[in-house]
Amino acid sequence: MGQTTAPRGRAEPLPVERGRSYQWRLARSGVLMTLPALLVVASFTVYPFWYALNESVHLSSPILGRRFVGLDNFRNVITSPYFLDAARTTLIFGAIAVPVLVVLGVLVALLLNERFPGNTLLRAGMLLPWAIPASVVGIIWKWVFLDSWGALNAGLYSLGLIDRYISWLTTPWLARFAVIVAFTWSQLPLAAILLLAALQAIPDELYEAAAIDGASAVARFWAVTLPGIRPMLVIVTLYEILMALNIFDITYAMTGGGPGTATSLLTYYIWAETFKMLSFGNGAALAVVIALLALAFIAAIIRALPKEALLGERA
């Protein structure tokens, strides 16, 4: 830009109009500035994914060496009763935990949207479960539900509500319940705050108009609130599905996948198959399966987002 000799004034062309070489230099800066981040992300995404794909069609063993087996690994894992069991557990887990989270998220958001003493304290209290590492969430709830001297058993017993300790973590359905409680506890804050943000964006006039029309509180909820938060509801639901597919730390610390395989969710199963059983081919095939599943959800999330939500030009 050094060659500009004309005196500066209103006639000075804006940089955007200054010609092709300037445009080209800006574009070059753009590419150079995004390159480091892009290279880092790409090398840790594309290569590993390719690696997993490649590994998933090979069988490596210390004795026979490495050979191509096509889709055998996929057939192995998909037909394995353990995989089907983990998939079923994940499905049950998601089918219960996600609706519970979304409904509770709406209820908590509605509650925090009201004025009452202690509201700020409750909002601040949401920080705690949200900020704690998920493995610690697992330990905290393990302590609550522990069979032999857990806080819940001790408390219920001391209150005289039970006369014998309940085996929360060693009874399959109770253990699943306990894991869902822990998961809900750690996920609810973000779900609720996102929905609260959406609630607060609904214009008051809509409520006033509905009230003038004589709509009851329940009718107002269905006619005004729900349509207003629907985009966020979709986002929260899909996000929580992804989180439910990803859950690992909580079950690792809380139940170790047990009792038996009652709380072995897909991620835990993949981890155990790969790093406990050391069958990398099967693990990689599972990883590819779960990545494809997640990509399907991602596609759904992107379709649910309003167009031009992120990089689109604003009017």
Partner 1 sequence: MRRRSSAQRALIAAGAALLALFWFGPFMLVGIGSVIPEGNLLSFPPRWFAHPPFLGNYRYIFTGEIPQTYLERGALRSMISQEVRLVPRAMLNSVLIAMAVMFLSLTLGSLAAYAYARLRFPGRVATFNFILISRLIPTVALAIPYYAIVLRLGLLNTHWALIAIYTVLTLPFTVLVLTLYFRTIPGEIDEAAQVEGASPLQVLRHITLPLSLPSLVGTGLFTFMLAYSEFLFGLLISTSARTRTLPVTLGTLSTNPDVAWGLMMASIVVGSVPTLVLVIPVWRFMVRGLMSGAVQ
CB of 171 to partner 1, least distance (A): 18
Q: Does 97 help bind partner 1 (rule: CB under 8 A)? A: no
Please answer whether residues 16 and 251 qualify as being in contact, where contact means their C-beta atoms are separated by less than 8 angstroms.
no
Q: Does 102 help bind partner 1 (rule: CB under 8 A)? A: no
Q: What are the DSSP E strand ranges found in the chain?
A: 58-61, 65-68
For 141-159, letters b (16+ CB in 10 Å) and e give: bbebbbeeebebbeeeeee
Q: Which of 89, 42, 31, 19 is nearest to 255 (CA)?
A: 89
CB of 76 to partner 1, least distance (A): 16
CB of 64 to partner 1, least distance (A): 19
- Alpha helix ranges (H) inside 159-225: 172-200, 204-212, 217-220
Query: Which of 74-82, 87-95, 170-178, 238-246 is the region at the interface with partner 1 (rule: CB under 8 A)?
Result: 238-246
Q: Which of 174, 173, 178, 184 is nearest to 244 (CA)?
A: 184
Query: Which of 70-78, 81-89, 94-102, 292-300 is the region at the interface with partner 1 (rule: CB under 8 A)?
Result: 292-300
Query: Which of 65-73, 74-82, 92-100, 105-113 is the region at the interface with partner 1 (rule: CB under 8 A)?
Result: 105-113
Among residues 161, 212, 310, 315, which is the contact residue for partner 1, using CB under 8 A?
310
Q: Does 209 help bind partner 1 (rule: CB under 8 A)? A: no
Q: Hey, what are 176's tokens?
A: 């699943």
Q: Which is nearer to partner 1, 193 or 262 (CB)?
A: 193
Positions in 122-151 near partner 1 (CB under 8 A): 122, 124-136, 138-144, 146, 148-149, 151
CB of 9 to partner 1, least distance (A): 11
Q: Hey, what are 72's tokens?
A: 């055998």
Among residues 121, 212, 218, 315, which is the contact residue for partner 1, using CB under 8 A?
121
Query: Which of 63-71, 77-85, 87-95, 288-296 is the region at the interface with partner 1 (rule: CB under 8 A)?
Result: 288-296
CB of 119 to partner 1, least distance (A): 8
Contacts for 298 with CB less than 8 Å, ≥ 6 apart: 242
* CB-neighbour burial class of residue 240 (10 A; exposed 0-12, middle 13-18, buried 19+): buried
Q: Does 248 help bind partner 1 (rule: CB under 8 A)? A: yes
